Structure 1
Amino acid sequence: MNSRAAGIAVAGAISFALPIVTYYEGLNLMSYLDPVGIPTICYGSTSGVKIGQTRSRSECDRLLNAELGEAISAVDRLVKVPMPDTRRAALGSFVYNVGAGAFARSTMLKKLNAGDVVGGCNELLKWVYAKGKRLKGLERRRSAEVKLCLQS
């Protein structure tokens, strides 16, 4: 696939993932500590963030699109079976939240690659803890991701 086609493919999944990510992450133009103490800004971005930083709405939107595109690209590299954009979006939202490394090591990925779509998507429901603490926000987000993941 050429880079233009790859970009179009990622854009389709991004359009499904954006409402989940923006709703559950929220927008903060000033950096803050997330529930487990990680400096965060914009729509949940953590890379290189320092407390006291600020960003404009347009900077946050660009950052979100770039980081969500990277997350979906990681999903595309790791999942070896065909999937609809809805599933790619759900998994992209998950990877945006927990990182590609956690996804790469997950039972979820193993099940998806083995063709167990229902089992793989339902694994999302296990990812509701942050530093051992069950978070209601993560429970709601994972429930939304599972619904999207199971759509075909």
Structure 2
Amino acid sequence: MKAKIIGGSAAAVIALTATALVKPWEGYSPEPYVDMVGVATYCYGDTGRPAKARYTEQECTEKLSSRLGQYMAGITACIDMPLRQNEWAAVLSWTYNVGVGAACRSTLVRKINAGQPAKMWCAELDRWVFAGGKRVQGLANRRADERRMCEGQ
């Protein structure tokens, strides 16, 4: 069974929940900086070449909302099973951090598509705590937050 396209109020709730989950972990940076693995980053985790030198918090929030919509479309295409809103929000936050390609190729998505219980595949989030080959406590903390959301805690 293919996951239904998420629209209307459900999509809005997921987007708001994911935004609230993503913002504190990505952090607001009005100007570009190089992150711990050498990636130029600005706003709330945007990467690539910024269109301007400085962004307001409102501009960054709008960019985040737009990008989360793009990431939602990407991960939705990979998931064949229905998820609860809290599960979608956790998966979307994680996908925003690791990228659609990595998310779609993951054991986590394979377990979702195999119909495993959420408790089983939510636990896969704990494995995504490395950057540049090293365990990063900030990622471990973020994954714990996403897992709590995923499990409805």
Flag whether TM exceeds 0.5 (same fold).
Answer: yes
1:75 is displaced (CA, Å) by 2.5
Greater shift, 121-130 or 8-17, is seen at 8-17
Greater shift, 75-84 or 122-131, is seen at 75-84
CA deviation map 1:8-66 (0-9, x unaligned): 4321111211121011111010110111010000011114348x832122210110000
**Corresponding residue for residue 26 of structure 2:** 25
1:101 is displaced (CA, Å) by 0.1
Distance in 2 (alpha carbons) for counterparts of 1:11 and 1:76: 15
Ranges in structure 2 where 5+ consecutive residues have no aligned partner: none
Aligned length: 148
Distance in 1 (alpha carbons) for counterparts of 2:72 and 2:9: 12
**SS of aligned partner of 1:36:** coil
Distance in 1 (alpha carbons) for counterparts of 2:128 and 2:103: 11
**Corresponding residue for residue 85 of structure 1:** 85
The 5-angstrom pairing of residues 32-111 of structure 1 reads 32-49=33-50, 53-111=53-111
Structure that is richer in helix per residue: 1
Distance in 2 (alpha carbons) for counterparts of 1:72 and 1:151: 19
CA contact (8 A) 1:72 1:89 kept: no
Distance in 1 (alpha carbons) for counterparts of 2:53 and 2:133: 28
Call closer, same or farther: CA 1:36–1:15 in 2, change over 3 Å.
same
Distance in 2 (alpha carbons) for counterparts of 1:94 and 1:45: 14
**SS of aligned partner of 1:13:** helix
Distance in 2 (alpha carbons) for counterparts of 1:140 and 1:23: 11
